[in-house]
Amino acid sequence: MADATSSRPVRRPDARDIARWPRLTPLRFTLLVAAGAVLLASIGEVAPSADRLIGAVPRMGSLLERMLPPETDPAFLQRMGMRLVETLQIALVGTLFGILLSFPLAWFSAAGLSPLGRLRWLARGAVSLFRTVPDLVWALFFVSAVGLGAIAGTLTIIVDTAGFCGRFFAEAMEDSDKRPREALEAVGARKIDVLAAAVVPQCMPSFINTSLFALELSVRSSVVLGIVGAGGIGQELKSAFELFQYPKASAIILAIFVIVLAMEHLTDWLRRRLG
DSSP state of 13: P
The answer to whether the CB of 99 falls within 8 A of the CB of 211 is yes
CA separation for the pair 100, 166 (Å, rounded): 10
CA separation for the pair 162, 8 (Å, rounded): 54
Q: What are the tens digits of pLDDT across the range 67-122? A: 888 888 899 899 899 999 999 999 999 999 999 999 999 999 988 888 888 888 89
CA separation for the pair 221, 136 (Å, rounded): 9
| pLDDT for position 106 | 92
User: In 3D, which of 240, 270, 243 has the Cα closest to residue 255?
Assistant: 240
- Going from the C-alpha of 220 to that of each of 132, 233, 269, the distances in angstroms are 17, 11, 18
| pLDDT for position 56 | 80
The answer to whether the CB of 134 falls within 8 A of the CB of 221 is no
| pLDDT for position 275 | 63
List average pLDDT for each run of 10 residues in the chain, which is 275 residues long: 51 55 77 89 77 81 86 89 91 94 92 83 90 90 89 93 93 88 83 86 90 90 85 86 89 90 88 77
**DSSP H stretches of helix in 114-225:** 120-132, 135-146, 150-175, 178-186, 191-194, 200-225
Four-point Cα dihedral 47, 50, 51, 55, nearest 10: 100
| pLDDT for position 98 | 94
| pLDDT for position 103 | 92
CA angle 117/122/124 to nearest 5° reads: 95
The answer to whether the CB of 236 falls within 8 A of the CB of 252 is yes
| pLDDT for position 1 | 46
Phi, psi of 173 (to 5 degrees): -65, -45
CA separation for the pair 128, 124 (Å, rounded): 6
pTM of this prediction exceeds 0.85: no
b/e 14-32 (16+ beta carbons within 10 angstroms → b): eeeeeeeeeeeeeeeeeee
